[in-house]
Structure 1
Amino acid sequence: MKLSGGCLCGFISFTAVNPSSSHSCSCDICQKHSGCQTAVWLEFHSDDVEWTGEGGVPSLFRSSASSSRAFCGRCGTSVGAIDDSPVIALLSGIFDHNEQALFSPQSHSFEDMKPEWWRKIMPDAAV
């Protein structure tokens, strides 16, 4: 299955195959990067993502010791995270068709950083 997507203005676009996992995250870096309380990611091996748009590889901001956040340098759309390990995690909202079950998160990181009102909507997983 080949998945596709891109940014708001179309300058950054991609195709990707072989998603390895989907997860959500509520850490403060994901919140700032996405502008959302929780981000939903679909992960790929970096060899399985091809940047096909005029903009090529997205602009990067080094967000931690092992990862950079990717975004469109033209319209500012948050695209995902490109890790130093060969993993690219793309935000679920940038895919052309993201209603498939494979986008449903298998795990959630940093539940402790969700605001209390969000816990009422999305309760923490049982420990």
Structure 2
Amino acid sequence: MTDTSHAERLTGRCLCGAVTFTAVPKHGMHACHCENCRRWTGGVYLGVDCGDSVEVATPEAVAVYDSSDWATRSFCRACGSTLFWTLKGGGLTAVSAQAFDDPSVFAFESEIFIESKPDNYDFAGDRDRMTGEEVMAQFAEGA
């Protein structure tokens, strides 16, 4: 996993390069199995919490979709690459792990909305697994 104790700023981009960004990861990678993330990405969303540290070089190249009462989803206007899931209240932007230039630096730490995971795939290994109810309770505690 990335050593975030040094607040290392990492780089990333979308498929076509119209969106480039830097961000400071707070933790390793998590997988979200909720229906919205699966529809948004065409698979499971692998995200890295970067707090409020995301800096985009060309903000006009990013489209933002108001996907729920509590979050937005951002993608490249040109190529459609999945980029950021952002909590409307601030404090949390999950950056698509695969949008980073070197996604291999992130440890696979957790899976969320585990009850929404379809039966046709499973990830090997032991890690924290939380239900949607547990995740929402955690958000409520942080509010």
Give TM-score scaled by structure 1 length.
Answer: 0.83
- Candidates 54, 67, 72, aligned match of 1:68: 72
RMSD: 2.2
How many percent of aligned residue pairs carry the same amino acid? 28
Q: Which runs of 5+ in 1 are unaligned?
A: none
Which residue in the other structure is 1:83 paired with? 87
Q: Which runs of 5+ in 2 are unaligned?
A: 1-7, 131-143
Deviation at 1:57, TM superposition (A): 6.3
Which residue in the other structure is 1:12 paired with? 19
1:123–1:106 distance in 2 versus 1, CA, 3 Å: closer
- Candidates 26, 33, 36, aligned match of 1:26: 33
User: 8 Å contact 1:11–1:72 — kept in the other structure?
Assistant: yes
User: 8 Å contact 2:73–2:84 — kept in the other structure?
Assistant: yes
Deviations 1:16-74 (A, max 9, x none): 12x122311100011011111x211101121x11112x354621001111100000011
C-alpha distance in 2, partners of 1:123/1:15? 29
Deviation at 1:104, TM superposition (A): 2.1
Deviation at 1:105, TM superposition (A): 2.8
Which has a greater percent of strand?
Answer: 1
1:117 and 2:120 matched: yes
Give the length in aligned residue pairs: 120
1:16–1:56 distance in 2 versus 1, CA, 3 Å: farther
Give TM-score scaled by structure 2 length.
Answer: 0.74
Runs of 4+ more than 4 Å apart: 121-127
| Greater relative contact order structure (CA < 8 Å, 6+ sep) | 1
Which residue in the other structure is 1:96 paired with? 101
